[in-house]
Amino acid sequence: MSIPTPANAKPAAKSAAPEAVKPSNFLRQIIESDLEKGTYAQRRWAGTPGDAAHHAKGEPDTAKIRTRFPPEPNGYLHVGHAKSICLNFGLARDYGGVCHLRFDDTNPEKEDLEYVNSIVDAIKWLGFDWNGSQGDYSAAPYQASDYFDFMYRAAEYLVEAGHAYVDEQTAEQMRANRGDFGKPGIDSPFRSRTPAENLAHFREMRDGKHEDGSMVLRAKIDMASPNINMRDPAIYRIRRATHHNTGDTWCIYPMYTFAHPIEDALEQITHSICTLEFEDQRPFYDWLMDRLCEGGLLANPAPKQYEFARLNLTYVITSKRKLAQLVYDHKVSGWDDPRMPTIVGLRRRGYTPAALQLFAERIGVTKSDSWIDYSTLEGCLREDLETVAHRGFAVLNPVKLVLTNWGEVFAAQGGDAYLEPCTQPVLPHPADGAPVAERHFTLGKEVWIEREDYEETPPKGYKRLYPGNKVRLKGGFVIECTGANRDATGNVTEVLATVIPDTKSGTPGSATVKASAAISWVGVANGVSAEVRMYDRLFLDAQPDAGGKDFIESLNPNSLKVVTAIVEPSLANAVPDQKFQFERHGYFVADRVDHVQGTKPVFNLAVGLKDSWGK
């Protein structure tokens, strides 16, 4: 495959050889074929969005393709949006193009700055920049409401060219006359108005002469079309609402199906990628582009729409409305609750941009709906953290272990109070050439171990502490278990053992005594207590909202358990958002919100070491 390189093309900032690293998919094939054929090679770009005349004055577009991500700023982005972001920004990056961030704010609902900011942050965090700004994050995203003037002009053009009419039927009449799959629609009695009459009425609509809902502007296409979306769809409605950007300038607003293709065209988008539910809208998209290009309003070639299957993830809900319900009904602590599939929630849970990008690549894009198993997402995080997350010891369910002969063995060094310095590697396999870093901590007479590491009567195959058995305290000495003290109800209060001298890890004597296991531990002298939030899936049902089910009913009552753990000093000194592997337990992140370095450690379980769900 060869990508034609126009003489003036600047190398894209972060271009990668696509075919070398990325598995192909139908969208990549379409783009590669368009680049080969030069479908978009003649396009011009005036530096800002605009109509045909505007772009004609511009330079040949140095961006080989233009894609866009067009969120409605009405909620926080979720993992499904992350797929769309990685797809659109990733394709632009890989093919020397540009991806636009456009707020789709044509609906005059109150736009919330909180949502706008969170969307910008999410895209930045995922590692992308927008509108060709090459890392300048202050670049303003585009907003669809800036195009209202053009949209109105395009509507007047359609009216004048006989392609649109003002319909005064009631909403019920319109619905009844639309027909259905088996029945063609019936022409509106207002369909045969002249362009002049329609223009006069449309201007009256704009000038506020008519009530909300009393009339709409409709495209004049075909009331008998087998595609119901082509049966004269409404393109403008009357709606007295103050818009956050345009205030009270307008009392008519374009319908989404009309606005969206125009937004794409003004921005010179080449490949407009959306989810499958818009497939039936594609004929109207093309119809509208054809009309406005033939009228000379929009630059040729027009953008094309392509559909892919939206992400459905098991045990997860991806609807902004339903996620909002979880927040407002206090089922979770907020949009960034680590159990939420929002980007802010995933981030607080310990997900990394690399893990989400890997996930998007791994699931790929398809043309048919399917469910992706949640473990695929978890696997991507594990894969990313495996090599980079610092290791550390944390005891999640602590019981004290007393080394009864400690004072005797170290009599010369201070007896019972003696603390033996120990180390363990920060990473078991540091990257090539990277220095081997060590964590430092101390071993003394008393250490914390996991309660499950002691059994009075060991089950078959049990290799940890039981009377008479020898194990190594990782990085420390081999010890021999002698028993345990219990309280009146029989609970173990202290496990007892003796330390075997001269068996320290890394010393010549370390191999002299055989230990059946090596266990993690934290010294009582320098362990720090930490809040650890053990998260599990938010829902028990793999498809919590499928088929209109009430997803609230399948909320997992045990999706959060908080434990007080004891962690080694290096973990207590974590900075917020730092990721770790707590040896044997899984990957954890220092909570971005509540963790205080050194004084109040708080960790979230990001993902276990192995996929254990359902086992």
List Cβ neighbours of 50 (8 Å cut-off, separation of 6 or more).
Answer: 150, 266
**Contact 367/276 with Cβ under 8 angstroms?**
yes
Q: How far apart are CA 153 and CA 274, in angstroms?
A: 26
Which residue's Cβ has the minimum distance to ligand ATP? Answer: 80
- Binding range to ligand ATP, per CB under 6 A, among 75-83, 184-192, 196-204, 425-433: 75-83
- Under rule CB under 6 A, which residues in 245-274 are in contact with ligand ATP? 274
310: annotated active-site residue:
yes
- Binding range to ligand ATP, per CB under 6 A, among 26-34, 78-86, 396-404, 476-484: 78-86
In this complex, which beta carbon is closest to Mg ion, that of residue 72 or of residue 577? 72
Handedness of CA 112, 113, 118, 119 (dihedral sign): positive
Site string for Mg ion, 43-72 (x = CB under 5 A): -----------------------------x
In this complex, which beta carbon is closest to ligand ATP, that of residue 84 or of residue 357? 84
**Contact 101/132 with Cβ under 8 angstroms?**
no
How many H helices and E strands in the chain? 16, 29
The entry of ligand ATP, Mg ion, none near residue 81 (CB within 5 to 8 angstroms by kind) is ligand ATP
The one-letter amino acid code at 381 reads: L
- State in angstroms the smallest separation of the CB of 204 from Mg ion: 31
3-state secondary structure of 511: helix
Q: Residue count of the chain, please give it.
A: 615
The entry of Mg ion, ligand ATP, none near residue 311 (CB within 5 to 8 angstroms by kind) is ligand ATP
3-state secondary structure of 383: helix
Nearest residue to 52 via CA among 292, 304, 303: 292
In this complex, which beta carbon is closest to ligand ATP, that of residue 221 or of residue 313? 313
Q: Where are the beta strands (DSSP E) in 314-406?
A: 371-372, 390-392, 394-395, 398-403
Which of 49, 50, 80, 392 is in the footprint of ligand ATP by CB under 6 A? 80
Nearest residue to 426 via CA among 414, 418, 416, 435: 435
- State in angstroms the smallest separation of the CB of 71 from ligand ATP: 4
Q: How far apart are CA 475 and CA 391, in angstroms?
A: 13
In this complex, which beta carbon is closest to ligand ATP, that of residue 237 or of residue 310? 310
- For residue 137, how many C-alpha atoms fall within 13 Å in the half-sphere facing its CB? 11
List Cβ neighbours of 194 (8 Å cut-off, separation of 6 or more).
Answer: none
DSSP-derived letter for residue 173 is H
- State in angstroms the smallest separation of the CB of 126 from ligand ATP: 13
209: annotated active-site residue:
no
How many C-beta atoms lie closer than 10 Å to residue 238's C-beta? 21
Which of 100, 102, 201, 320 is in the footprint of ligand ATP by CB under 6 A? 320
The entry of Mg ion, ligand ATP, none near residue 193 (CB within 5 to 8 angstroms by kind) is none
Q: Where are the beta strands (DSSP E) in 404-511?
A: 420-425, 438-443, 446-450, 470-473, 478-486, 492-499
Identify the burial level of 611 via C-beta atoms within 10 angstroms of its C-beta, where 0-12 means exposed, 13-18 middle and 19 or more buried: middle
- State in angstroms the smallest separation of the CB of 170 from ligand ATP: 28
Under the criterion CB under 6 A, does residue 72 sit at the interface with ligand ATP?
A: yes
Which of 28, 43, 66, 81 is in the footprint of ligand ATP by CB under 6 A? 81
The entry of Mg ion, ligand ATP, none near residue 70 (CB within 5 to 8 angstroms by kind) is ligand ATP
The one-letter amino acid code at 1 reads: M
The entry of Mg ion, ligand ATP, none near residue 485 (CB within 5 to 8 angstroms by kind) is none
Beta bridge partners of 520: none
In this complex, which beta carbon is closest to Mg ion, that of residue 79 or of residue 532? 79
Which of 14, 44, 178, 310 is in the footprint of ligand ATP by CB under 6 A? 310
Q: How far apart are CA 509 and CA 521, in angstroms?
A: 21
Under the criterion CB under 6 A, does residue 70 sit at the interface with ligand ATP?
A: yes
Q: How far apart are CA 41 and CA 34, in angstroms?
A: 9
Nearest residue to 105 via CA among 288, 244, 224: 244
Catalytic residue among 14, 32, 44, 72: 72
- Under rule CB under 5 A, which residues in 72-111 are in contact with Mg ion? 72
Site string for Mg ion, 268-307 (x = CB under 5 A): ----------------------------------------
Under the criterion CB under 6 A, does residue 275 sit at the interface with ligand ATP?
A: yes
* Size of the residue set binding Mg ion (CB under 5 A): 1
320: annotated active-site residue:
yes
Catalytic residue among 22, 44, 239, 310: 310
Under the criterion CB under 6 A, does residue 71 sit at the interface with ligand ATP?
A: yes
Which residue's Cβ has the minimum distance to Mg ion? Answer: 72
3-state secondary structure of 515: coil
- State in angstroms the smallest separation of the CB of 106 from ligand ATP: 11
- State in angstroms the smallest separation of the CB of 273 from Mg ion: 14
Which of 305, 318, 352, 604 is in the footprint of ligand ATP by CB under 6 A? 318
DSSP-derived letter for residue 611 is -
Tell the residue number behind the tokens 């002299």, with chain if given. 512
Q: Hey, what are 246's tokens? A: 């345009």
Nearest residue to 42 via CA among 29, 55, 61: 61
* Size of the residue set binding ligand ATP (CB under 6 A): 14
Under the criterion CB under 6 A, does residue 84 sit at the interface with ligand ATP?
A: yes
Under the criterion CB under 6 A, does residue 83 sit at the interface with ligand ATP?
A: yes
In this complex, which beta carbon is closest to ligand ATP, that of residue 28 or of residue 320? 320
DSSP-derived letter for residue 25 is -
Under the criterion CB under 6 A, does residue 233 sit at the interface with ligand ATP?
A: no
- State in angstroms the smallest separation of the CB of 27 from ligand ATP: 13
Catalytic residue among 218, 282, 320, 347: 320
- State in angstroms the smallest separation of the CB of 317 from ligand ATP: 9
- State in angstroms the smallest separation of the CB of 310 from ligand ATP: 3
DSSP-derived letter for residue 596 is B
Pairing mode, strands 602-607 and 528-535: parallel
| Alpha carbon distances (Å) from 385 to 138, 379, 609 | 30, 10, 10
Binding site for ligand ATP (CB under 6 A): 70-72, 80-81, 83-84, 274-275, 310-311, 318-320
Binding site for Mg ion (CB under 5 A): 72
Residues catalogued as catalytic? 72, 310, 320
